[in-house]
Structures are given as structure tokens and as C-alpha cells.
Amino acid sequence: MQRKNGILLHISSLPSPYGIGDLGPEAHAFVDFLARSKQSCWQILPLNPTNSGTGNSPYNAYSASAGNPLFISPDVLMEQGMLCRENVTPSSPFAQDHVEYARVVAWKNHLLKIAFESALPWLQNQQAYTTFCSVNGPWLEDYALFAALKEHLQGLPWYYWPEDLKCRKTEALSRWQQKLSLEIEREKFKQFLFFQQWQTLKNHCNQQGITILGDMPIYVSLDSCDVWSHPELFVLDSHLLPIFVAGAPPDYFSTQGQLWGNPVYDWEQMESTGFSWWVERLRLNGTIYDAIRLDHFRGFAAFWQVAAGEKTAENGVWRPSPGKALLTKVRAKLPDLELIAEDLGYITDDVRELMAAFGLPGMKILQFAFSANLPENPYIPHNIPRHSVVYTGTHDNNTLKGWYQQEAQPAEKAAVQEYLGLQGRDKEIPAALIRTAMMSVANLCILPLQDLLELGAEARMNTPSKTDGNWGWRVTKEQLSSGLAIRLARMTWLYGRSPAPKIATKKTA
């Protein structure tokens, strides 16, 4: 496998005059920046519609299949004649360095209603739209109704909806489908726009020889279309509320563990269906991305289960998962699917065996490398295997600069300096760690853009267990300079990570 280099940057973090990164001109400009920088991969976070009530996390979305309408580009809609300049001019400028989520959500939703009203007279006669709705019907019909109901009921979680809707009684669904027919059509239209713009962006990436590495959370949110439309696939009580929830056990970083709150899967029920829900989920993701990072991969071997109502994750238990049977089925149905395992945290032999059985590369994080047992540490560069993906940090970590300045203990700092031969030269540490990651033997090296820009803790994307203030950082156009592209291109060549040949495009469902 050819050595490759890539950048981690979510769509929301792109430059844009509209308060949040989107799939329009600035996303295409970023692809051109990647090409000039000789990058082969762009890693992003999940693209699904986020929930403002749970902190706008892309890992706690309303749907595992739908795209986030906030990423629809107003500029593209203007080009298509659905909006005019007056529509897309905000009453006051949005912040350029972070996402003002509450303001962006209200403004973008209003904009998409205008676009829908503009398109409505010809929409049903457009072949591309009708084909999209037909091909994606298995998930789109449920999601459009779910989203329309949620708007009508002022954001109320589905498990608090009227009983007949909560339990999906046929008569109630039929009645509300008729009552909200226009709103349902608008939700389908937004998904059509999202995937149309996404496909154009992905094609641009692939034409430049750049692959897109997507991210798929293992769990789905309780307040999601997935749980509402398929409650039998989750461990729920008679009121359709979780009996158990997912999390992670106590460890060095969290003495009380992590309580995520997602409902756990009824794996026996899933296996009885031939894992059809998983196969379809991965099939769709395989058309959206060129490769998929499976978040919290250890959950496919065994998962930490906590009784609903617990305040912390301390009193949980490990439960086995049928990961081998699931991945065997996936390989049979989707043989060309390229997967990467997020194997961070408490990793046991069964997880390693599962990865080895299916040849899945794991992740190596340099911020975790400088422990007391440094020579044997699996994340230290001299121990990183070729069949892996090396990172300076992930979206859940502080930036390199922020980590070194604020989080690394004195012993860790001393180990970093000694390992790199930079005693007393703190300012050079972030850049040196980037070069160390790139010169490692790992086939793929992924660098968060914040680290390349040598930004501090103010640019951190997410702090786990922190309920607000996450997912907001954005890069400015000025930071994506030609000088940065030249320096990155030189390092990419120097460490043998030049781009792969251009690849054929795959059509999004």
C-alpha cells in the first residue's frame, strides 16, 4: 500500500460567510488546497443532522442515514436560481472563527424554506429528484416524516410524542403523513440538495486524487429516527425507553467512566435478520465515503452496558457483541468496503483478534505515546506498525500545542523533549511531532488542521464529557495560505507520502 498523508477537518469548520462551513465554493477551494499540499486524504466527522439540544455533536444525530441540512450551500442554491442575493445576506455578519449554532440553525432553516417554495412548482417533474426519493426511500420516508413531526411538535423527543405516534400506529402515521405532506416534501427536498451538493464535492475530491475518509459512530441517539422506526433493534422497555445505555468504564482519564446514554443494540435480534440494518447502513456510507472509520470499534467485540438511570458509568458490565458474524456478513455483501478501526481506549485481545481477522488497520495517537513505559508504548513511533493510521491527535484531543502547554505532565514533557532531541526548545515541539508522525512507517498519516496551524487549546474541536462549547472551531480563508500549502507539500514529498494516482468516482445513493 502506498504511503499517504491527509488532513482532518470537519465540514462545519470550513470558511464560509454563512456562519458554518458548507458544501459550496469554500469546500471546493479546500480540496484545491489539499491538492496543492500534495495530500491524498481528507478525513471528516459524521455528516448526519445534529441536535442543538445535545450540544450539536455529529456523534449524537437525528439520523444515521440523513445528511445535515446546515451544510447545504446558499451559494450553490443561488447559482441554481432558488435563492437571490437578498435572501442570503444576513442582517449582521456571522462570526468567522466559530459556529454560532443557535443563530445559524434559525437562519439556515428559513433560507431552505424559501428555496423549497421556489422549487416546488417544478420539483415533482425533475427526474433527478424523483429518482433520489425512490432510491433512498427505505430510510428517506421514515426520516422525512420524523423530521416534519419533530418540527411540528417543537422539537419534542419522539418518546414524548402522543402514544399513537410514538408507537407508530398505522392510522396515526397515515393521518399525519397527509396533514404534514408539504413539510414532509420539504424534508425530502433538503436531503436531495444535501446529497446533490455532497456528490459534486466528492467528485471534485476524487478527480484531484483525494479520497474521503468518513466517520461512522457505532451507536445512534435515543432521539433519532433510527430508534423510533426500528425499536425492535434496541433494548427498550414497554414504554420504548432504554433499559440499558452505552458508555465506557472508568480509566486513567475518567475515574467515573463515560456515560453516553445511547440505547444499546439487541444484537440477537439484529443477528436474526442477517444484520440487515447494519449492512444497509454501511452500504450507504460506502457510497458517501471512499473509506470509513468505525468509531468505538471495541464495541463490536464487547460493549460496556450500564443500567438506565445510573448517574455514572462505574456500575456497568461488559457484554459480548457478535462482531465476527457481523463483519463476515458485511464482507460478503460489501466486499470492496474499506474500513479503519478506531481502537482507542481499553483494548483487549478479543478486539485485536477481530481486527486481525478482517485485516483492519488501527489508530496510533502521538499524544498517548510518552508514558512511563515509553520504549514499549504502542503509540510511540518506533513501535507503530505499517498497517495503521498515525495521528498527532483526534477531534477528541486537545491540539498538540494545547496538550503540550496545558495537559502534558512534567514527566511527559521531559520524555517528548528527550525523544525528539529538543531539550529546552518547547516552541519547536508541535512541528517536530508532526514531522515525527509523517516519517513513521504507518501507511496513512492524518494531521488535524489545527496542529498544522500550530494553534492552542482555543482551537480544540471537542472536549469529551463537556456538554457545551464543542464543535464550533472554524478555520479562516487567510489561514489556508499558499505558504502552508508549500511547506506541507514539501514535507509530504520528503517523507514519501506523495499522492496516489487519481481514482474513479463512485456515485452516491
Q: What is the pLDDT of residues 197-230, one digit of tens each?
A: 999 999 999 999 999 999 999 999 999 999 999 9
Tens-digit pLDDT string for the chain (509 aa) = 689 999 999 999 999 999 999 999 999 999 999 999 999 999 999 999 999 988 999 999 999 999 999 999 999 999 999 999 999 999 899 999 999 999 999 999 999 999 999 999 999 889 999 999 999 999 999 999 999 999 999 999 999 999 999 999 999 999 999 999 999 999 999 999 999 999 999 999 999 999 999 999 999 999 999 999 999 999 999 999 999 999 999 887 678 898 999 999 999 999 999 999 999 999 999 999 999 999 999 999 999 999 999 999 999 999 999 999 999 999 999 999 999 999 998 899 999 999 999 999 999 999 999 999 999 999 999 999 999 999 999 999 999 999 999 999 999 999 999 999 999 999 999 999 999 999 999 999 999 999 999 999 999 999 987 888 999 999 999 999 999 999 999 999 999 998 655 555 555 55
The pLDDT value given to residue 346: 85
* Ordered alpha helix ranges (H), 41-169: 74-79, 101-123, 127-135, 137-152, 163-166
**Cell numbers found for residue 71:** 451544510
Residue of 393, 459, 449, 404 whose CA lies nearest to 426: 404
Q: If DSSP codes are grouped into helix, strand and coil, which group holds residue 504?
A: coil
CA-to-CA distance for 365 and 391, rounded, in angstroms? 5
Q: What is the pLDDT of residues 329-340, one digit of tens each?
A: 999 999 999 999
Instruction: Output the CA–CA distances (angstroms, integers) from residue 83 to 75, 113, 126, 198, 275, in the order listed.
Output: 8, 10, 18, 19, 42
The dihedral region occupied by 240, where left means phi > 0, alpha psi between -120 and 50, and beta the remainder, is: left
Burial of 345 (0-12, 13-18, 19+ CB in 10 A): middle
The pLDDT value given to residue 345: 86
Whether residue 396 lies in the annotated active site? yes
The pLDDT value given to residue 465: 77
Please tell me the number of Cα atoms within 13 Å of 268 on its side-chain side: 2
Q: If DSSP codes are grouped into helix, strand and coil, which group holds residue 46?
A: coil
Provide the whole-model pTM.
0.96
**Cell numbers found for residue 334:** 460489501
Q: Between helices 276-288 and 137-152, what is the axis angle to 10°? A: 90
The pLDDT value given to residue 500: 52
The pLDDT value given to residue 54: 87
- One of 342, 343, 412, 451 is an active-site residue; which one? 342
- One of 75, 97, 151, 295 is an active-site residue; which one? 295
The pLDDT value given to residue 53: 87
Q: In what order do the strands lie in the sheet with 302-307?
A: 258-263, 244-248, 302-307, 317-320
The pLDDT value given to residue 137: 96
Q: What is the pLDDT of residues 140-183, one digit of tens each?
A: 999 999 999 999 999 999 999 999 999 999 999 999 999 999 99
> What residues contact residue 311 under an 8 Å CB cut-off, 6+ apart?
259
Q: What is the pLDDT of residues 436-464, one digit of tens each?
A: 999 999 999 999 999 999 999 999 999 98
Burial of 300 (0-12, 13-18, 19+ CB in 10 A): buried
CA-to-CA distance for 271 and 325, rounded, in angstroms? 8
CA-to-CA distance for 427 and 404, rounded, in angstroms? 10
CA-to-CA distance for 489 and 36, rounded, in angstroms? 7
- One of 151, 396, 426, 454 is an active-site residue; which one? 396
Q: What is the pLDDT of residues 30-62, one digit of tens each?
A: 999 999 999 999 999 999 999 998 899 999 999
- Residue 404 carries which DSSP code? I
Burial of 254 (0-12, 13-18, 19+ CB in 10 A): middle
